[in-house]
Chain A
Amino acid sequence: MKSFRKLGKNLGVLAVASLVFAGLLALVPLSTSRAGQKGNEAKGKFYFKQTCKSCHIKGEKGGEVTPLNKTQAQWQSYFAKGKHMKGTEPLTKYMTPEQLNDALTFLYNHAVDSPQPETCGK
């Protein structure tokens, strides 16, 4: 919880972060063929939920976004192009390149065409 609170302070205005999410991505070129497999998925889920999901949920202005919205290739392309809100605001205000890489890893690994066999008891 302490780390969570600390991070929350660091993240600042989470509500607007998702609006500029891909803007940063446009400014932070990622090695897309590898980036989706090399980040920290668990941390990526955390950054995605804390940042993107503040707006991108059902009923909110951003519309619902989940990893299943895109294929793996589409997530890679999306991150590389950074067309979110036309890339008008850099996300470096809110996320480091490493955090973005983690977020991409999470989205890539859970994309709509990703191999994700279900399991027992979970």
Chain B
Amino acid sequence: MNRRGFLKMATGGAVGAALLQTEACRVPLQQQKAAKDVVPRLEIPTTCDMCVNKCSMIAIVEKGVLKKLNPNPENPKSKGMLCARGNAGIQQLYDTARIKHPMIRTGERGEGKWKVVGWDEALDFAAQKLSAIKEKYGPQGTLWSSSASFQEVFFRNLSQAFGSPNSVRHPTLCLASVNLAYSVTFGTVPSFDVQNARYIIMSGANRLESFITPDTMDLIDSTTERKARLIYLDPRFTKTAAKADEWYPIKPGTDLAFILAMLNVIISENRYNKEFVSTYCSGFEQLAEHVKQYTPDWAAEETQIPAKDIFRIAREFSDAAPRAIYYAGRRSSWSRDDFSMRRGQAILNAIVGNWDRQGGMVPNAKVELGELMFLPWDDPVAPRVDELDKNFPLAAKGDGVYLKLRENVLAGQPYPVKAWMIYKQDPMSAIPEQEKTLQMLRQMDFVGVIDIQMSDTAWYADVILPESTYLERLDPVEMLGGIRPVVLYRQPVVKPLHDTKPAFEIVQGLAKRLNLSQYFDYTMEQWIAEQVKPLPMDLPLDYMKKHGVYSPPQYPKYGSTLSPDHRFVTKSGKIELLSERLREAGYDPLPVYHQPSQVPEGKFRLVLGRHAFFTHASTSNNPWLNSFSPENALWIHPKPADSLGITDASLVEVASGVGSVRLKARVTPKIRTDCVFMQHGYGKRSPWLRLANSGGSDAQLIETAWDTVSGGAALHETFVKVRKV
């Protein structure tokens, strides 16, 4: 299928869904046995899992075969859209490269020798290994890694019931710095009302290229139909830059200087929202004094953005408020000061009074769900191996800090960790400095992986427990807060094709063997029944089965927190421009600019990005998706390329302090001369993956560095040498 055909199919999905939207033929799988002979074509509402956005969709199933995935227009969040990636979910189900059976390693780690086993043997093996390590090292000798999934809760519960303090989630490879900065400032992480904004500034949030979701369509809608102004800062001329009103190839690592200078202008020219600041904010006087030093002339030197433009943008931004937003973005940390940069954004948004206003930042509305209650386990005795309380006292306790955790595990400090259970995550691809991750895998006595494909991490596992895909399983109900909150239902659209199980059943199988069954003594149906109880309809479960999504009709609502007696979930109860909590923890209570490391002579700063074809490692093996971009390339400006004798498509070697990769060059003026760029997700090690040895792996190049407050992996702190091969 070519690109045009694929996009046509994806676009046609909305039309197709509208044409096929007859509720009478929507039949949940539970009823299919009786109906299959009578209704050869079923429409089953369910929820996408091809990215984090979780759009609602309708599966078209004929005689037990999934034929098509269409958007479900009942979800106001996904707005009748299912992107190309969502459409390609059908290939996740029918991919011939899926793991089809449980497997136990028979050769050396990474040798690729496996034996297919039954579930009892696989679970017995895993449970025996975990028990042995618990006996020798205590429960803290086990590490449990996972990423967001509707079934992640069961995996995490097993780790806690087992007694391990060491569960680590993906946020420090994701939005940890953003989440913490907004939580410290507002007590919550709001949504950005991109659709109704009139002025939008984005620092490297490449929404028109890296991640196509309904939010992206809102951005297109606001910038084209409603003529909102988009100011875009990025060292690379991306597709978002192409659609922006203004693009500034900012010097990497200096975004905070730009933000602080905007604050300087807005405050010194009395352009902030005085009534809002005096009613809802604390620490304004200290902020005003603090930003006096950060003039546009100073920032121009740092950022290489002209001072006159910083003045103008600051004035335009405050004039457009409250329908003006400095968009938080969606990606990991860039620098060791990333948290401060995000704090600066949050403060800038606050003082123009865009909080809880149409076109501004809106606190997420929620829908209450019920919960199946059971008496939980005892707390773990040992502290976390990443020593979170000591190193990152404000970080989210349940998430952990991946890079610090790896450093400590490799050092055996403060105690040995010898087993690693991994669910829906590929640390080999996701974590910087792959060689260290490989060392960590190799020093484990046991590695167990729950996945749908033979990821680079699974390739080094001892046992692989294959999970059923999101199209084959019943999941817990999920609530997504937002400007328009939704409750989502995911039900199986076909029976499992292979000898796989949902994570919940895998966890139950392990729990039984680990004598922890008392914490998992319920069915998925019982779990869901408790969840949907508070929903405001007579038969909530029937409603969810039939519609796949529920969204309260009263949203969007603006201004519900705009009352002088509203208490924000912060220490002072106000929006904290100056954070006492940061001060108490030993950090700067206001964002302080630190100049980034300068690019050494003869080197380039490596900058990274995603594209809309893939959601990190989890979809990169999808044949429909990776056919559009089968390998990555190194973007390099013609000027340095000429001096290095590099021409377009020539093979180059890129070397950092921790590794080197080879990939083709893309010589283009769309990038600064002091940077090179590559896309994430290539150069796989696992021979079972289609992108094995295809392009270069950024994980092999990026050096270990983290944001000092959130612990988020700092992905733009690596300098590389480039040479023609």
Contact = CB atoms under 8 A, between A and B. Distances in A.
A49 B581 contact: no
A121 to B, nearest CB: 2
A84 B374 CA distance: 26
Interface string B145-181: 0011100100000001000000001110011100110
B374 A3 contact: yes
Q: Which of A2, A46, A113 has the most CB of B within 10 A?
A: A113
B377 interface: yes
B394 A115 contact: yes
B394 A68 contact: no
B170 A121 contact: yes
Interface string B219-261: 0000000000000000000000000000000000000000000
Interface stretch (B123-131, B183-191, B303-311): B183-191
A42 interface: yes
Contact of B373 (A41, A50, A116, A120): A50
B628 interface: no
A115 B570 CA distance: 7
A35 B94 CA distance: 54
Contact of A117 (B170, B174, B179, B522): B179
A3 B377 CA distance: 11
A43 B518 CA distance: 15
A113 B174 CA distance: 26
A40 B52 contact: no
A114 B396 CA distance: 12
B581 A115 contact: yes
Given A40-B376, A42-B377, A112-B573, A117 B395 contact: yes
Interface in A99-118: 112-118
A121 B148 contact: yes
Contacts of A40: 376, 378-379
Interface residues of B, number: 44
Contacts of B182: 118
B399 A119 contact: yes
A61 interface: no
Task: Tell me the dominant secondary structure on chain A's binding face.
Answer: loop
Interface in A17-42: 40-42
Contact of A4 (B147, B179, B373, B570): B373
B373 A117 contact: no
A65 interface: no
Contacts of A120: 52, 148, 169-171, 174-176, 179
A50 B189 CA distance: 29
B657 interface: no
Contacts of B395: 117
A7 interface: yes
Contacts of B188: 118
Task: Tell me the dominant secondary structure on chain B's binding face.
Answer: loop
A43 B570 CA distance: 25
B147 to A, nearest CB: 7
Q: Which of A1, A42, A46 has the most CB of B within 10 A?
A: A1
B375 A119 contact: no
B571 interface: yes
A113 B183 CA distance: 11
B111 interface: no
Interface in B393-435: 394-396, 398-399
Nearest to A45: B376
A49 B371 contact: yes
A117 B378 CA distance: 24
A9 interface: no
A46 B567 contact: no
Nearest to A121: B148
B569 interface: yes
Contact of A68 (B379, B396, B569): B569
B561 to A, nearest CB: 13
A41 B170 CA distance: 23
B179 A3 contact: no
A117 B177 CA distance: 10
A121 B189 CA distance: 12
B373 A121 contact: no
Contacts of B269: none
A115 B183 CA distance: 8
Contacts of B189: 118
A1 B179 contact: no
Given A42-B376, A118-B182, 6 more contacts: A3-B375, A4-B375, A49-B371, A49-B373, A116-B569, A120-B179
Q: Which 4 A-B pairs have the closest CB atoms?
A: A121-B148, A42-B376, A117-B183, A1-B521
